[in-house]
Amino acid sequence: MKLAEDLLAGNRRALAKAITVVENGTEGKKELLAKIYPHTGNAYVVGITGSPGAGKSSLVDRLTEHIRKHYGLTVGIIAVDPTSPFSGGALLGDRIRMQDHVLDEGVFIRSMGTRGSLGGLSRATKEVIKVLDASGMDIILVETVGVGQSELDIMNAADTTVVVLTPGAGDIIQTLKAGIMEIADVFAVNKADLEGADRTVTEVESMLELDKERDWTPPVVPVISLHNKGLDQLYQAILKHKEYLTESGQLAVHRQQRLKSEVVEVVLEQLKQKITREFKESGNFEETLEKVVKREIDPYQASEVILGALIR
Ligand SMILES: Nc1nc2c(ncn2[C@@H]2O[C@H](COP(=O)(O)OP(=O)(O)OP(=O)(O)O)[C@@H](O)[C@H]2O)c(=O)[nH]1
Ligand SMILES: [Mg+2]
């Protein structure tokens, strides 16, 4: 398969095309994923999440530049926007901010919208991660706004999760409500040029102190994306977490667990597709549904008829 070969050789156009193929589920997706899969597992995936407007995109942009300049590593960026129906090269806001990277061969940016299904978005994100990984990206940054379950699912694909907060108690409360406080491996208090940043750092630190059970205490790093401040401290905190995961053996364990549950996810997804397909093709299914409507059989009995037909 030429696309897979070109991608593995590091060709950028092939990379862009491959992402479109896995995202749209077009023909060749399964073959492509099968070909590239043995070449995945090398990239380190960092999730960046936080409330709307916390400065995630700015931070991803600045951090990418920092990593390129000082460490020479290649960086793949996936900006996931669950509120946007659009996918493709880059969304407008990101395009403006990220234009500096356009000429940098070591950076690849891709924005993803929902295209109708939130669950599908998290699946597609995981596949785009594999494509970037196989293309040889050293680090993959996944930005998503932390507001709901599907975003939590997306962050589940990350080795290290950075939660971005801003000064002021309101942001901590919002983050707590969204359930993303507990998924943080590292906290970045962005916009530390604004008033109250020190207090926010202290507040988060004392919250973390209450939980003495954990053997990794997330560092809280003040950052000013706007002025390129704190970027190396943040990067070092990410590396430290990576080192902790590696040395404790958890990195391997987490990755294995993720892959195993991914298989279940894919099986369920395929089953769903198969059922939907058969529903459309077979009159029997319609008949079964009608029986439920007429209260001749109940939904459980109907599901047994349908599942029975599937494994026939
Ligand atoms: N004062 C200050 N403003 C910042 C800083 N970083 C980002 N901003 C501003 O915060 C606003 C939001 O930044 P974004 O990077 O778009 O935030 P985001 O979290 O990606 O936003 P969404 O993706 O829409 O949720 C912009 O106006 C930025 O200029 C900072 O360090 N200090
Ligand atoms: Mg953003």
Q: Which ligand is nearest to the CA of 188?
A: 1
pLDDT, residue 92, reads 46
Mutate to test the pocket of ligand 1, among 48, 49, 58 (most ligand atoms within 8 A of CB): 58
Is the confidence at residue 34, as pLDDT, over 70?
Answer: yes
- The 10 Å CB-count burial string (b at 16+, else e) for 243-272 is eebeeeeebeeeeeebeeeeeebeeeeeee
226 ligand 1 Cβ < 6 A: yes
Q: Map residue 89 onto helix, strand or coil.
A: coil
Q: Which CATH number fits domain 41-247: 1.10.10.60, 3.40.50.300, 3.20.10.10, 3.30.420.10?
A: 3.40.50.300
**Mean pLDDT for the stretch of residues 283-291:** 85
Distance, CA of 197 to CA of 167 (rounded, Å):
5
Between the CA of 51 and the centroid of ligand 1 the distance, in Å, is 10
State the sign of the Cα–Cα–Cα–Cα dihedral 291, 297, 300, 302: negative
Which residue did the predictor score with more confidence, 265 or 34? 34
**Mean pLDDT for the stretch of residues 65-84:** 90
Q: What is the pLDDT of residues 263-277, one digit of tens each?
A: 998 898 888 888 877
Q: What is the pLDDT of residues 204-243, one digit of tens each?
A: 998 888 877 788 999 999 999 999 999 999 999 999 999 9
Nearest residue to 222 (alpha-carbon basis) of 271, 264, 188? 188
Between the CA of 59 and the centroid of ligand 1 the distance, in Å, is 8
pLDDT, residue 310, reads 74
Between the CA of 148 and the centroid of ligand 2 the distance, in Å, is 16
pLDDT, residue 96, reads 47
SS3 content of the chain, % helix, strand, coil (to 5): 60, 15, 30
Minimal-distance CA residue to ligand 1 atom 10: 55
What's the mean pLDDT when you consider all of the chain?
87
82 ligand 1 Cβ < 6 A: no
Nearest residue to 311 (alpha-carbon basis) of 274, 286, 273, 279? 274
Q: Burial, 295: exposed, middle or buried (Cβ in 10 Å; 0-12, 13-18, 19+)?
A: exposed
DSSP 229: B
Minimal-distance CA residue to ligand 1 atom 21: 53
The reported pTM is 0.89
The DSSP line for 68-81 is HHHH---EEEEEE-
- N-to-C CA span, the chain: 34
Which residue did the predictor score with more confidence, 96 or 148? 148
Query: What residues does CATH 3.40.50.300 cover in the chain?
Result: 41-247
Q: What is the pLDDT of residues 126-181, one digit of tens each?
A: 999 999 999 999 999 999 987 777 778 888 899 999 999 999 867 787 777 777 78
Nearest residue to 150 (alpha-carbon basis) of 181, 114, 195? 114
Q: Tell me phi and psi for residue 276, to 5 degrees.
A: -60, -45
193 ligand 1 Cβ < 6 A: yes
Q: Which atom of ligand 1 is nearest to the CA of 224?
A: 31
Contact yes or no for 298/196 (Cβ under 8 A) = no
Q: Which ligand is nearest to the CA of 151?
A: 1
Q: Which of 128-137, 211-220, 245-254, 291-300 has the lowest mean pLDDT?
A: 211-220
